[in-house]
Structure 1
Amino acid sequence: MYCVKCGKEFPDEASYCPYCGDATLTAAKHHNAADPLANYHTPTINRSEEKKPVNGSFVALIISVIGTICTIITLINTKDYRYDKDDYHQNQLMIVLAIIGLLCGIGALIIVLVCRKKYGTFNTVSMVALIIAIIAIGLSLYSIISIIPILSQSYEQLKVKQTAKELDEILRSLN
């Protein structure tokens, strides 16, 4: 016989499941023979298991929002008129923010998919987290692709400036 509550196998003559303590159907028949509903066991719902996908979904939602915010900061700063495309360090910061946004988006996507695989369903928070994670990934990739040429140009200009400074120092030392 199998327990209707925990699903484990136990001897047919047992009155109670030795694993979870739930009364078997045969014990219920003897105990409440007059009550026809006594033969049916209403499964209990473990509320702690229901909360786990929501908690994972909230974590994914928070991570995806952080990634999207980092990416939006990158996009806003690179489109601002005060943004100096020749400033190598500023370009490095923008690429780091875009990469953080990309990693957060990918991390949130993985969390949502793991929750989906583990619990077999998407809830509303998971869907919102999934959509925001995809937006974060897309915007991050766009930012990275648009900043890399600028970063390489500013690096070349930085090298030229450093070389010019070194030449100036050499010329001063000769004079």
Structure 2
Amino acid sequence: MHPSHSPSGRLTALGIQLIEIHHWLREELAKLRASLDSPGDPGTGLTRELRAHCVGFCAALHRHHTGEDGGAFQVLAEQVPELRPVLAELSADHRVVADLLRRIDALLGDAADGRSVRAELDGLAALLESHFTYEERKLVAALNQLAGDPVQLLGVTPPTGAVPS
């Protein structure tokens, strides 16, 4: 993925890129959940394409959270110490999300049916919506003051054309 650019060609502030990344992750999760609602061949469970999409989404989400924990959160903790309790809460959320991603991965490896995966993805969607909203509300302004490589600080950059909601 490439860094997000504004129409003037300047790099977009990191906080805005965070919103764009979250928007993209929300969209990908919504597509994945919708694809589980699409009728497939009866009795076949998840298709190979659906499994690949799920694995790809989970990997991107994991990279994003790992990047935040090892990048932006460390920098913010040093530069804005009053955010440390918020950062600790967000990192705890990341661990809960990682557990959910491991459960989803195990279901995919066990050739589970779409209903089991859908139940986990529904729980993940609810948790992420709360997490992303809180993170954006608490961190965007502080992130916009930082300079640095979005991949190192946020784990990923939004795909070209991602638009914040």
Q: TM-score, normalised by structure 1?
A: 0.37
Q: TM-score, normalised by structure 2?
A: 0.39
* Greater RCO, CA 8 A, separation 6+: 2
Q: Which has the larger radius of gyration?
A: 1
